Amino acid sequence: MKKFLIFTFLVFGIFFLNADYSNSYCDYGPGDSFKEAVDGCYKSSQLVQPQGENLSVDKGFGQRILVWKDRLAFYFGIAAVFGIVFSGIIFAVSTGNEEVISKAKLGFKWSIIGFVAIITASTLVTFVVKFIYTI
């Protein structure tokens, strides 16, 4: 069961979580030099905004954290629900075998604990990010 859940998390992580949010838009024309392309790429970044000689992080960074939090909570929530359903199926087809029933109950228990942990962590991350950006 552990190997299957780890495999499921890796598949979701590789195929469904993309890192588009940290990239910036670069406008590069055929007559531009590499320096102009990189400068344009840096200036269009939504994560770091240049202000004179200094750099400051705008509120978009907090929004990006919240978006990632929502994505992770969504996919881990799907995995937790899948674990609950999988445990129920194992319990239903156990045909009275006590060892299989105990494994199904254990899987169900840990799926519920994981689901509660996802909700708690999501709430805490939202609270901390919103608290930091309201100071």
Kindly report, residue by residue over 72-124, the tens digit of the pLDDT: 999 999 999 999 999 999 999 988 899 999 999 999 999 999 999 999 999 99
Instruction: Give pTM, 2 decimals.
Output: 0.55
Q: What are the residues whose beta carbons fall under 8 Å from the beta carbon of 75, sequence distance 6 or more?
A: 9, 12, 13, 16, 17
Count of domains forming the chain = 1
53 found inside a domain: no
Task: Kindly state whether residue 88 falls inside one of the protein's structural domains.
Answer: yes
Q: Is residue 123 part of a domain?
A: yes
* Residue 27 is assigned to a structural domain of this protein: no
Q: How many CA atoms lie within 13 A of 48 on its CB side?
A: 11
User: Closest Cα partner for 27 from 16, 42, 17?
Assistant: 42
Q: State yes or no: pLDDT of 29 exceeds 80.
A: no
Q: Which token pair is 17?
A: 């979580």
Domain range for residue 95? Answer: 2-21+59-132
Mean pLDDT of 38-58: 53
The whole-angstrom separation of Cα 39 and Cα 31 is: 15
Looking at residue 123, what is its pLDDT? 93
Over range 2-23, report the average pLDDT: 62
Alpha helices, DSSP H only, in 44-97?
A: 60-92
Q: Is the pLDDT of residue 32 over 70?
A: no
- Residue 62: per-residue pLDDT: 81
- pLDDT at position 18 over 70: no
Could you tell me if residue 50 is inside a domain? no
Residue 97 lies in a domain: yes
Assess if residue 99 is contained within a domain.
yes
**Which tokens is 24 given?**
């910036």
- Is residue 40 a part of any domain in this protein? no
Read off the pLDDT band of 6 (50, 70, 90). Answer: confident
Q: Is the pLDDT of residue 25 over 80?
A: no
